[in-house]
Amino acid sequence: MNTANPTLLVTDEVDFFAQALAPRAARVVELGCGKAAFARALLQRGLARTVTAFEVDRVQHEANLAAPPVAGLQFVDGGAQAIALPDASADIVIMLKSLHHVPLDLLDTALAEIRRVLVPGGVLYVSEPVYAGDFNDVVKLFHDEGLVRAAAYAALQRAAAAGVLHWEREVVFDTPLHFRDYDDFVDRIVRVTHSDLALPPALDAEVRRRFSPFQGPDGARFVRQMRINFMRKP
């Protein structure tokens, strides 16, 4: 079932997505779009006809609505468990580091909803961090996602076993992460609007200690492993 290639290095996931799926005039839905950088890149590079980008974090959703508009990009307030779109209205559904944010008791519902909005033969592209590696070891000191990531992966396996979605393939690759310094890491990883995270002084000191070996003259560099699952609606 799995096709893992941990030695593959991907510096631009949009390029990887384009090479893997070769989308042409696709109607794309992104669930958990965050700042919608991926959605904007798809449209700007001509890899999608339209992108409907869903986000449950109201702060980020309002920021997306206030940003300069991009032709073909629509923002919707909502989650994967209740997708406000008609049946068979999407060619590709994308989830980038967002499946594990779906409430655990609604994961199966979310995957059934994805099946509903996909056209027959449509593809679900799921990109999730692998729960391993130096970066994960630093982050899990204050935000341990081991349980939710395992649950998200198990939900994909259940969907395949039940025939909700066909399991096409799995690819694992390395991707580089760069931070200017520890403060940049805290701003981008801790002070995010969708999470209620904080670093009390003692914990902050420990996270800083574990982070510091990766800091060099040009910033802190990590390699994070990502797992991509390609699922298809029968």
Domains of the chain: 13-131+144-178+223-232 (3.40.50.150)
Element (H, E) at 215: strand 215-216
**Predicted TM-score (pTM) above 0.75:** yes
Rounded Cα distance between 85 and 105, Å, is 22
Nearest to 233 by CA among 115, 145, 128: 115
Give, for all 234 residues of the chain, the pLDDT tens digit. 444 444 799 999 999 999 999 888 899 999 999 999 999 999 999 999 999 999 999 999 999 999 999 999 999 999 999 999 999 999 999 999 999 999 999 999 999 999 999 999 999 999 999 999 999 999 999 999 999 999 999 999 999 999 999 999 999 999 999 999 999 999 999 887 555 677 899 999 999 999 999 999 999 999 999 999 999 999
Nearest to 182 by CA among 199, 160, 197: 199
**Residue whose structure tokens are 């994960």:** 136
Q: Is residue 174 left, alpha or beta, with left meaning phi > 0 and alpha meaning psi from -120 to 50?
A: beta
Give the contacts of 233 (CB within 8 A, at least 6 positions apart). 115, 118, 119, 120, 121, 122, 123, 124, 165, 166
The confidence score (pLDDT) of residue 100 equals 97
Element (H, E) at 227: strand 219-232
The confidence score (pLDDT) of residue 196 equals 64
